[in-house]
Amino acid sequence: MIYLDNAATTLPKPPSVTAAVNRALLTMSSPGRGVYAPAMRASNVLLDCRIAAAELFHVPEPEQVIFTFNATHALNLAIRTLAAPDSHVLISGFEHNAVTRPLHALGCEVRVVGRRIFDPVDTLAAFREAIDWANLVVCTHVSNVFGYILPIDEIAHLCGQKNIPLILDCSQSAGMLDLDFASLGAEFAAMPGHKGLLGPQGTGLLLCKDSAMPLLYGGTGSDSLSQEMPPYLPDRLEAGTHNMPGIAGLLAGIRAVQSHGTNRILAHEKQLLSIMLDRLNTVPMLELFSDGGRNQSGVLSLCCRGLDSETLAAALGEQGICVRGGLHCAPCAHESAETAPDGTVRFSPSPFTTEEQIIAACDALLRIVS
């Protein structure tokens, strides 16, 4: 089996992640519910994980690192804080349903800008042209479908100049691209723990300033006489029992990323992309979505003439190649690339994917299309 659906969830995880999850299940209770040993073991892991994430993403204080169940949960928290039914929200042409559905549910007026793929100059120009209309910007760092790296530094700078709050969706970039939360000045950055950060499913992070409003209300182990949520972070946003096995695994995953280095991880994945492009770009039946890696992560989406994406993904699956076909929960991105409604087949490597695996996946694809 060759697993190339790491943009959905990375697999395998480092052995240290598995060990940490196991250790948490065996030795930890709930953090913040007492000062006895199993509770404090959990509390210490919780703080260690906040500190590790704060270091990795340059967040001023560990309290600004909030644990969520996934990136969708984190994005909902951010969007519910900053958006209202009458909000004018500017989004890129590469957003996931985790962004567009919460905005739709709130009844916001949404304008999609920057539809040209792999063209950061056009993307920035489109944001600049529309920014005065907006009172909120939500933008993905990297397209989950195409691996397009959007110019978030410049978009954040533009938002800062206009004093428009910015929510970043770092679902595909966290653990692979550098992110300096403090310098960017974004109001929120949301990310999953189970993708590039190599943690378990059921984990996510929200990096925030201090404006965040709760999405869940309940027990926090603090200020219990009050029926209001505690006014301070992280307690204000973390009601209920934490996912301690998940967070312990996430801490191990973040440490693995720190040990590898995001630059090395990105270089490795780009190298794998380049191998795929070399082997596939002369096949007339295939349409590859790539700019050669200039503004692209290691993700490669493709279409095959005469074969819909789900059928091709299933055929690859029968040969042990695990990839994702269809719309990848991002119809907006497919509309931008004119690949809707059929979608694409997406190949997404991880730090542990080898060149041999990529070559074998290409060979399998070539056998099918020929």
Partner 1 sequence: MSQHLILCRSLTTAQRAQRLLERSGIVSSVVKAPQELTGAGCGYSLSLYRHFEEADAILQRSNIATGKRFVLMEDGRFRELNHDIPR
Residues forming contacts to partner 1 in the complex (CB under 8 A) are: 31-32, 34-35, 40, 43-44, 46-47, 50, 61-63, 221-226, 230, 232, 234-235
Nearer CB in complex with partner 1: 140/220: 220
- To the nearest whole angstrom, how small is the minimum distance from the Cβ of residue 284 to partner 1? 58
- To the nearest whole angstrom, how small is the minimum distance from the Cβ of residue 218 to partner 1? 13
- To the nearest whole angstrom, how small is the minimum distance from the Cβ of residue 256 to partner 1? 23
- To the nearest whole angstrom, how small is the minimum distance from the Cβ of residue 38 to partner 1? 14
Please give the Cα distance from 273 to 291 (Å, whole number). Answer: 11
Please give the Cα distance from 12 to 24 (Å, whole number). Answer: 19
Nearer CB in complex with partner 1: 32/147: 32
Amino acid code (one letter) for 18: T
- Give Dmax (Cα) for the chain: 69
Nearer CB in complex with partner 1: 47/322: 47
**3-state secondary structure at position 276:** helix
Nearer CB in complex with partner 1: 12/240: 240
Nearer CB in complex with partner 1: 40/131: 40
Q: Torsion angle of alpha carbons 36, 42, 43, 46, nearest 10°? A: 180
- To the nearest whole angstrom, how small is the minimum distance from the Cβ of residue 352 to partner 1? 33
- To the nearest whole angstrom, how small is the minimum distance from the Cβ of residue 27 to partner 1? 18
- To the nearest whole angstrom, how small is the minimum distance from the Cβ of residue 76 to partner 1? 23
Please give the Cα distance from 129 to 115 (Å, whole number). Answer: 13
- To the nearest whole angstrom, how small is the minimum distance from the Cβ of residue 240 to partner 1? 15
- To the nearest whole angstrom, how small is the minimum distance from the Cβ of residue 31 to partner 1? 7
Nearer CB in complex with partner 1: 221/317: 221
Residue for token pair 């929120």: 188
- CA distances to 43, 210, 232, 236 from 223, rounded to whole Å, are 17, 19, 10, 11
Count of positions (residues) in the chain: 370
User: How many Cβ atoms sit within 10 Å of the Cβ of residue 37?
Assistant: 11
Nearer CB in complex with partner 1: 163/226: 226
Nearer CB in complex with partner 1: 217/232: 232
Which of 37, 36, 74, 28 minimizes the C-alpha distance to 53?
74
Query: Which DSSP symbol is given to 5?
Result: B
Concatenating the DSSP letter of every residue in 237-253 gives G--S---HHHHHHHHHH
Q: Phi then psi for 237, rounded to 5 degrees?
A: -110, 0
The helix or strand, by DSSP H or E, that contains position 51, with its residue range, turns out to be helix 37-57
Query: 69: Cβ–Cβ under 8 A, 6 or more apart, which residues?
Result: 202, 203, 204, 243
Nearer CB in complex with partner 1: 59/177: 59
Q: Phi then psi for 90, rounded to 5 degrees?
A: -95, 130
Which of 295, 85, 102, 298 minimizes the C-alpha distance to 188?
102
Amino acid code (one letter) for 177: L
